[in-house]
Chain A
């Protein structure tokens, strides 16, 4: 059983809290500290952003996080080291790298080997839709690394069925048409969509984009398997109030369960 499978199985009655931060933001050492704080305050899965020069799907807050990390000259090697360090102390928490195609392409054919050695459990490639993903999917399967699929409000049922045939780990439902940190407008639509996805698959479905407070997280968790929170955590980093992250995380965790 993979770490992701274990996480969802052991917490069957509980909802999963997924956090997103960017590797190397605001610096290599502080970003490590933040990740450790997130684990101890209740994060169940760590999504770690791979900073990219052209983060096309991000809103202004996460864009700046990518820029801050790149200013500190964070390289892919550093990110793998961060994963390794977490793994050396904690063999349970799943680590999912989230980024853009060109970053993962730079690892070449040894993609799955390098990720596996660093203790990475899955990756999310924002600009790699199902149609283009065959090579990555097969390469990652060799090491049981999950290619986490993003499903959007515009994904039609026929396409969804095709995607589900080659999905593993969990599904990430993007709650809105837009960029990260945008304003979430239509709860009922999200609820209906998530329910319709769950009818077609046994894979866990987590909801992300636009979840900025405990109240929204609670609402979303009521009909899904968990929530992803990113922009709000990074907002604390931008405002130099890193100390508030732990409390916020605890609050989220409490609210969804």
Chain B
């Protein structure tokens, strides 16, 4: 059943906890357990879990280094977290009876706001408030509203793209579930979860780096 309103499972300290947040906690717990085992016996020649962890970190490190150069490594932890977080949340949709948490606007918009604040904050810190604000009336003064809308548009399109892909995939599998239960939706769900999920997570991460970089210089 696809519901737009969040399904509140229980209240924690008076704060309602919807179902997709519990799934996010599950994913976080799984990552913690994996990292715990990956870093038990650190060897020079990595094997098994440690190898996988190093591959992931290496991938995101190269991604950041290619796009932002050496000073950009300051954002490596943030970008690696966004990358792994969105990747695992997209893949969490494959588990039967578990909807991908990124198929909800709350999750993706929260990530989008995070990237928005980081990119603008870093631009202000690096260029100083004056030049940052002057950037909005770049070619001509009357470009001000356009530039502001452009910036907000980036935030909206960034988070809406991930949400739209995963939500569309969810509804497609739900529609097929009505027609042919348990055969076609399984394959479709894996397709939307894996192929679309991995690419959208990569696009989300690379755009996050691009937004930070384009505002910084």
> Are A and B associated in one complex?
no
Which chain B residues have a beta carbon within 8 Å of chain A's beta carbons?
A: none
